[in-house]
Copies of this chain bind each other. A is one copy, B any other.
């Protein structure tokens, strides 16, 4: 029997990984992404972590893995309908992050967003 002390713990079990929210945000922003495109947008993640986090998200039913049987391999990831139900919450988190950065900048901190991965 799995127990939670407060419902939000159940959400954290799904999005609690170090990179999961970031992955989900990228998928929210771009719809469908190949493995290499995700990696390009997350320069600091390792191959292993990327795969691992994607697998966990997949087995939690929030994203879907689409494998094309071809050479070289092509694999795409996209949110499931269920995963899409997370989008509103995550988008609010994103905009809060933006505000948080602006606040930091206005307070004289040295912060910046690279986000040069837009093609």
Which A residues form the contact surface with B (CB < 8 A)?
1-12, 14-16, 18, 21-22, 25-26, 41-44, 82, 85-86, 88-90, 92-101, 103-104, 109-115, 117
Contacts and interface: CB of A to CB of B under 8 A. Distances in A.
Contact of A44 (B5, B12, B111): B5
Given A14-B100, A96-B86, A25 B8 contact: yes
A90 B8 contact: yes
A6 B114 CA distance: 7
Nearest to A104: B10
Contacts of A26: 6
A5 B112 contact: no
In order of increasing CB-CB distance, the 3 nearest A-B pairs are A11-B97, A89-B92, A7-B97
B85 A89 contact: no
A40 to B, nearest CB: 10
Nearest to A98: B7
B5 A100 contact: no
A1 B96 contact: no
Given A1-B112, A10-B98, 11 more contacts: A2-B111, A4-B97, A5-B42, A5-B43, A5-B114, A6-B25, A6-B26, A8-B21, A10-B101, A88-B92, A89-B92
